[in-house]
Structure 1
């Protein structure tokens, strides 16, 4: 059953549902090896929402989270897939999270750093992806260490190596991938944050549209749609977020 007309117009005022896709987070989206087209759980959710609304889907693809956020914030896109953050929440209405991801630190094998709580020290330089969830988080939380921003999240470890920085911060799966490309690196044990990935739309689309999107995400979690999508795309290390207690809110 398609959505009511006023909901469809709120989500897709230009006709198609324009979904902002961030290829900088391999948990959510990648380029398909055969076609080069975006694939992943965020694309599957975007397709599901477009079908629910009864409209065509248009993917607007970016290489960094900050660009993807900006597209939704300024109305260039209608929905997006982001880590929940209070700064982003000024212009974007978030659902509850659908996926939980670990944020971790990567250092050199011979680094003196052994634990996450040792990173925030004067003189320590931490590489992050510009505008990423962990950039926003660490920019608030680190009081002594210096944050050095790479252009995108996939470029963090390359910048870390090129500039001789002390720590690379990012999504665990991306760091593990880069660790295989650069011998002599190790992950610090544990995590420094849990990244809550949610869907979001411009706040100006109104509370009814935000409520509709919230209910859609909850249904996708409860029906195992999200879990099946993660499995289909071979994603490990990410977990489906728990359903909220009251899906009517």
Structure 2
């Protein structure tokens, strides 16, 4: 069973078609890495998966449900924002920028979603938040504010915050691109652990080593279309398409 299924996804911004008929399937427990040059449509596709962007054509299903829409009589009708927010509860997203509340501690940032959105008792949510901070190696930073944390630490708090919502799917939009090189490893280590634990993940990344180590499938996009996809051992070591070879020759 596919946890995520995208068929013929198209997205336009004005007269520019950013996604041109993207098809993608992600099975439960699978890690898929989206690679490609800047402007290829990778981040836009990721945002479409949780309806932060509305697709113009095609369909996306997560766990069998059309994302952002309800189907009636063979036609799709866009959901109200309240219902879209309910759908998003099962989809965690980690952005390039950490988007933490600056006036809240690491612990408070992680507690916020479960209490406000899921209605968990604050004491229960705080206990689980401490466990999640320990899971990402930040147990001792629970009372620190974002400005007191390094970029890598802030991103790990952001991952803990997403996990606090008990997601069935995690989306990562270039989670290390805003980090200094020496901080990249600590974030990737957390993501590797999540993959080993069976978390379903779609990751937009330029970290080829991570894709080689963790991905079940690598999908290469250019100009809004899938050019090549397959196991990382094949796509990264023996790409069939010229565009893929050109890209890899620049980033490796």
TM-score (normalizing by structure 2): 0.27
TM-score (normalizing by structure 1): 0.27
